[in-house]
Chains A and B, each alone.
Chain A
Amino acid sequence: MSARHILTYLVAILPLGLFIGYPLGALLWSSVSTSNEGAVTYTLAFLAEALSSPAYLAVLGVTLVICIATAIISVAIALPMALFVWSRPARYQPIALLVLILPMFMSYIVKIYTMRSLLGLNGFFNQLLLTTGIVDKPTTLFLFNRGSILATFVVLYIPFAALPIYLSLERVPANFVLAGRDLGASYARALKDIVLPLASPGIVAAALFAFILALGDFVTPQMVGGPSGMTFGRIVWSQFGLAFNYSLGAALGIVLLVVTVAALAGSGLASRALTARMGR
């Protein structure tokens, strides 16, 4: 291996090790160790505790349901948006794409506050229902429940889902679609049998983005979830600060990490299966 090769590897691998390998290692180490006055003890008690509490597992279940729903709904909304951008004439596409991902440039907190002012008891939707006489007093139907967490997640993560879908659509050769049309396929048929299978890696990536971003989010549930807004990220968060139970926090973090890796592996398999079916 030449010096240049070694350098290339170093440049690629060093940051990976430093910014991903090291923190992950530290997380794992924290989850199985505890230190008291400098004396370190190794134990699996924290991992056992993280996995044995029925309340925590129930919250994990609720969190997964919300995050899977976020992934499905985000893709369902982002896919037509990405298709629309992709089917514009080439010179308008960059502008249409920019509009699509513009919300990414906005502060996350600003978006959550905006959602709250739309959904709140004195918010837009309640005012609308009140003035139209549909309800006679403001309803908490929109805010401070699990539905509002889902709605806010979807609004936050649609751009993150739309971008990978668009990028995979862009790689679908236009003449494939034309060929299909020439052979008598309707536009819908061409979409279903040619475009979507070719774009499937992007769609899977989009679902994964939305899912993982939602899974790690502990601010949104706090701000819009109300008394039923407990998610797993918040349990992890609660172990830091004055609680000073970094070991249990790390163990809970490992649980979340395992779920994320499982989702990654699952989507990898799904993506391969879809591509294989297409290649048949």
Chain B
Amino acid sequence: MTDISRRGFAAMIGAVGAYIAAPAVLRAQETELRVYTWEGYAEPEFVLKFEAANGCKLKLTYTGSVDEMFAKMQGSKGQDFDIVSFDTGSTGRYVEQKLIQPLDTILLPGRAGMIPVFQQQPSLELDGKLWGVPHAWGSLPLIYSKEAFPTAPESWAVLWDPQYAQQVIALDDAINNTALAALILGFPDPYNLTDDQLAAVKAKLIEIKGNLLSYFAGYDEGVSIFVDNGAKLMFAMGEPQAKSLRDKGADVACTIPKEGGIGWIDCQFITAGAKDVALAHKWIEACLDRSVGEIMSKKVGYGNVLDDSLNREIGMTYADRLKYLARPESYDKRIKIWNEVKAA
């Protein structure tokens, strides 16, 4: 190599290096908000608007289950994300493990416009502080085939009816199943059961197994088992599953039978390791905008926390008939019972 070409080579390497490094340098200057959430909770329609308004970039990570989310948050003690979204029932667990931080209500004026049941949630207010802000709600409804049921089943008891043996599927989750059985057995607080009540719940859950085709673990998994096997009834994970089933050609509908149902309120929280706490508050506040809720309700099918007319429009008129997920009396007891039910 001649001297000149060697110099040229060095210059070229330098240029290539600068080219590769440039976006990284630009990226470093732009603030990043790391959001750990569920699909449907960060649609481009409002994410792009927020990014433009605040000169930041959202880094979205989606979770497949509450367990995966907790494990990931626990693994990094909340350092990997700024915002995390989960249901009211898990709040205590996260607070106890110091994975989230209390919110500054002054920075969240939009809360004033919320439907009261979502604005005042005891499970979000621990140690006299506010920890999370609801942004969607829904139920664990009974999904039924309209072909088999011209009118909606009136009671959850239909899942136990031997007539529908091997045509029932149910989600695989300890807390939700024990709570549903408690509702059906008429226990007043499905999240706070005595040992005798838990024993009754266990017996009730073992009883349904003769009717079950399978449990399902996950949103798409439930839809796929229902369609592939022509199931008729499903203890579902949420209203959007009915929408997905209809998209796949199954003629189904949702109902909350007379015993009531389990409800969930998904909220946004700021992690203990959040880098830009002010920006994180801005995101939570931005999600309280009416337009955001409208997109989530109309496009994805989630219940709205701001405007009841939107809920009526998509048929979610049962918010006051739901028992919203709260921390159970004992995770260990419920997991044990659920394992024993599945092993029976």
Interface residues of A (CB under 8 A from B): 53, 55-56, 58-59, 116-117, 120-123, 138, 140, 143-144, 222-223, 225-230, 234-235, 238-245, 248
Asked if A243 and B174 sit within 8 Å, CB to CB, the answer is yes
User: Given A117, A227, A242, which contacts B228 in the complex, CB threshold below 8 Å?
Assistant: A117
B67 within 8 A of A: yes
B142 smallest CB distance to A (angstroms):
18
Q: Does the CB pair A238–B217 fall under 8 Å?
A: no
Complexed CA–CA distance, A242 and B229 (Å): 31
A59 to chain B minimum Cβ distance, whole angstroms, is 5
Beyond A144-B214, A243-B332, 19 additional contacts (C-beta under 8 Å) are A222-B215, A226-B213, A227-B212, A227-B214, A230-B339, A230-B342, A234-B339, A234-B342, A238-B339, A240-B67, A240-B71, A241-B70, A242-B70, A243-B67, A243-B331, A244-B74, A244-B97, A244-B331, A248-B332
Q: Is the CB of A226 within 8 A of B343?
A: no
Cβ–Cβ < 8 Å partners of B331 in chain A: 242-245
Q: Judging by beta carbons under 8 Å apart, are B342 and A140 in contact?
A: no
A229 to B97, CA, bound (A): 33
**Residues of B close to A122: CB separation below 8 A:** 228-230
A243, closest chain B residue (CB): B335
A-B contacts, 28 of them at CB < 8 A, read A55-B340, A56-B339, A117-B228, A121-B229, A121-B230, A122-B229, A122-B230, A138-B229, A143-B229, A144-B214, A222-B172, A222-B215, A226-B212, A226-B215, A227-B215, A228-B209, A230-B342, A234-B339, A234-B342, A235-B343, A238-B338, A241-B65, A241-B70, A241-B71, A242-B70, A243-B67, A244-B93, A245-B331
Q: Which residues of A contact B97 (CB under 8 A)?
A: 244
Question: Using Cβ atoms and an 8 Å threshold, which residues of chain B touch A240?
Answer: 67, 71
B90 within 8 A of A: yes
Query: Do B230 and A138 touch (CB < 8 A)?
Result: yes
Contact with A along B194-215 (1 / 0, CB 8 A): 0000000000000001001111
B244 at the interface (CB under 8 A from A): no
Query: Which residue in B68, B90, B335 is a CB contact (below 8 Å) of A245?
Result: B335
Residue on A nearest B68 in the bound complex, by CB: A241
Q: B residues engaging A (CB < 8 A)? A: 65-68, 70-71, 74, 90, 93, 97, 166, 172, 174-175, 209, 212-215, 217, 221, 228-230, 331-332, 335-336, 338-340, 342-344
Q: Does A238 lie within 8 Å of B229, measured CB to CB?
A: no
CB distance from A124 to the nearest CB of B (A): 11
Contacts of A56 in B (CB 8 A): 339, 343
Chain B residues contacting A238 (CB-CB under 8 Å) are 174, 335, 338-339
Task: Say whether B343 contacts A245, CB under 8 Å.
Answer: no
Across-interface contacts of B172 in A (CB, < 8 A) = 222
Tell me how far the C-beta of A146 lies from the nearest C-beta in chain B, rounded to whole angstroms: 12
Chain A: CB-nearest residue to B89: A242
**Within the assembled complex, what's the spacing in Å between the Cα atoms of A225 and B331?**
25
Complex CA gap A225/B90 in Å reads 29
Complex: A238 Cα to B93 Cα, angstroms: 16
Q: What A residues does B228 contact at CB under 8 A?
A: 116-117, 120-123
Question: Cβ of B340: which chain A residues have Cβ within 8 Å of it?
Answer: 55
Contact indicator A140/B213 (Cβ below 8 Å): yes
Instruction: List 6 A-B pairs, minimum CB-CB distance, nearest first.
Output: A241-B67, A121-B229, A226-B214, A227-B212, A230-B342, A55-B340
Which chain B residues border A116 with CB–CB below 8 Å? 228
A226 to B74, CA, bound (A): 31
Instruction: Give min CB distance, A63 to chain B, whole Å.
Output: 10
Q: How distant is the Cα of A216 from the Cα of B20 in the complex, in angstroms?
A: 43
**Min distance, Cβ B82 to any Cβ of chain A, angstroms:** 21
Residue of B66, B67, B230, B338 with most chain A CB atoms under a 10 A cut-off: B67
From B65, B66, B339, A235 is in contact (CB under 8 Å) with B339
Q: Which of B70, B172, B335 has the most CB of A within 10 A?
A: B335
Chain B residues near A58: list those with CB within 8 A.
343
A239 engages B229 (CB within 8 Å): no
> How many whole Å from A114's CB to the nearest CB in chain B?
12
Q: Using Cβ atoms and an 8 Å threshold, which residues of chain B touch A55?
A: 339-340, 343-344
Chain A hits for B332, CB < 8 A? 243, 245, 248
Across the two chains, which residue of chain B brings its CB closest to A234?
A: B342
Contact B90 A242 (CB under 8 A): yes
Q: Are B212 and A120 in contact (CB under 8 A)?
A: no
> B270 to chain A: closest CB distance in Å?
20
Closest to B228 in A: A120
Bound form: Cα–Cα A244–B67 in Å: 9
Q: Tell me which residues across on chain B come within 8 A of A234, comparing CB atoms.
A: 339, 342
Query: Which chain A residue lies CB-closest to B335?
Result: A243
B342 → chain A closest CB, angstroms: 4
Residue of A nearest to B337 (CB): A55
Q: Bound state CA distance, A132 and B182, in angstroms?
A: 45
Q: Which residue of A lies closest to B210 (CB)?
A: A227
Contact A59 B230 (CB under 8 A): no
